[in-house]
Amino acid sequence: MSKKVDVAIIGAGTAGLNTFGQVRQKTSNVVLINAGHYGTTCARVGCMPSKVLIEVAKEFSRRQHFDNFGIEGSLTINRAQVMRHVRRMRDGFVGRVMEGVNKIGDKNIKGRARFVEPQVLEVNGEQIHANKIVIATGSRPIMPPEWHKLGVITTDDFFELENLPNSIAIIGLGIIGSEIGQALGRLGIRVVGVEMLSTVSSLSDPVVNKVAIEEFSKDFEQLWLGSAAQLSVDP
């Protein structure tokens, strides 16, 4: 079997869904092909659940100033409950994305696309001839194979943790790594940050980067910048 379309979009993340919406304004002869999870990286494992964690951490860190207001007493945090709250909010974000995905109907094809010719894709045994093909497959965290044996997790796994550890190392201080590390530090967890570059959060302005490092140093127990991580198991 085969079909002809004006545009085929591979990937139903933020970029793919936005592209689909724009293309639909010009033609209805378009398909969206997706092999992985629906819900977008931002909503599932990125900026949205991380913002929930940040908000919890911000509220908990305010306890340091309670004495100034005459509020006395101590607070503790239920880390397992924090993660349940983050996942509950995350599921709501993903659900709203899925409402839009479900409206796409038969234009949404679940399967892995493979190029058989420059303008011909094969999906689930069917060939799709497209005048234009948009590749919006996104990316995934890179991990050396040997690290899998050492209990290392990625941001794709982090929000599925049932509980939070007493200490954690964040390898890679891009935007999401920086956000998660700072939030965990404010929740009372010992955090070490490691980054191969001398910058954090993809900052290019040296003055802003210097200020960011100073602020992160308040929440990270240690920051190793310009350093590559090497892992080993304690004997």
DSSP 55-115: HHHHHHHGGGGGGGGT--S-----HHHHHHHHHHHHHHHHHHHHHHHHTTGGGEEES--EE
Mean pLDDT along residues 56-71:
85
**Is the model's pLDDT at 233 over the cut of 80?**
no
pLDDT beyond 90 at 147:
no
Answer whether 93's CB lies under 8 Å from 47's CB: no
Averaged pLDDT of the chain? 94
Region for 6 from its dihedrals, namely left if φ exceeds 0, alpha if ψ lies in -120 to 50, beta otherwise = alpha
Percent of the chain, pLDDT > 70? 99
- Under 8 Å between Cβ of 137 and 220: no
From CA 15, how far away is CA 197, in angstroms rounded?
A: 27
The CB-side HSE value for 186 (13 A sphere, CA atoms) comes to 21
Q: With b meaning 16 or more CB within 10 Å and e meaning fewer, what string describes 159-198?
A: beeeebeeebbbbbbeebbbbbbbbbbbbebebbbbbeee
Same fold, 1-140 and 165-225: yes
What residue ranges do the domains of the chain occupy?
1-140, 165-225
Q: How confident is the model at residue 63 (pLDDT cuts 50, 70, 90)?
A: confident
Residue 235: its pLDDT value, please?
61
Angle 150-41-203 (CA atoms, 0-180°, nearest 5)? 80
Region 158-166: mean pLDDT is: 96
Report whether 129 contacts 2 (CB < 8 A): yes
- The pLDDT > 90 percentage for the chain reads 80
Work out whether strand 190-195 and strand 114-117 pair parallel, antiparallel, or are unpaired. unpaired
CA–CA dist 182, 179 (Å, integer) = 5
Rounded CA-CA distance 50/95 in Å is 17
For residue 145, the model assigns a pLDDT of: 85
Q: Does 165-225 carry CATH code 3.10.20.30?
A: no
Q: How confident is the model over 208-231, as pLDDT tens digits? A: 999 999 999 999 999 999 989 988
For residue 95 the two structure tokens come to 């659900």
Closest C-alpha to 40, from 114, 110, 85, 90: 90
Q: Which CATH architecture has domain 1-140?
A: 3-Layer(bba) Sandwich (3.50)
Report the distance separating Cα 46 and Cα 90, nearest Å: 10
Look up residue 27 and give its two tokens.
């033609």
For residue range 188-211, what is the model confidence (pLDDT) as tens digits? 999 999 999 999 999 999 999 999
Which segment of 82-91, 107-116, 151-160 scores lowest on mean pLDDT?
Answer: 151-160
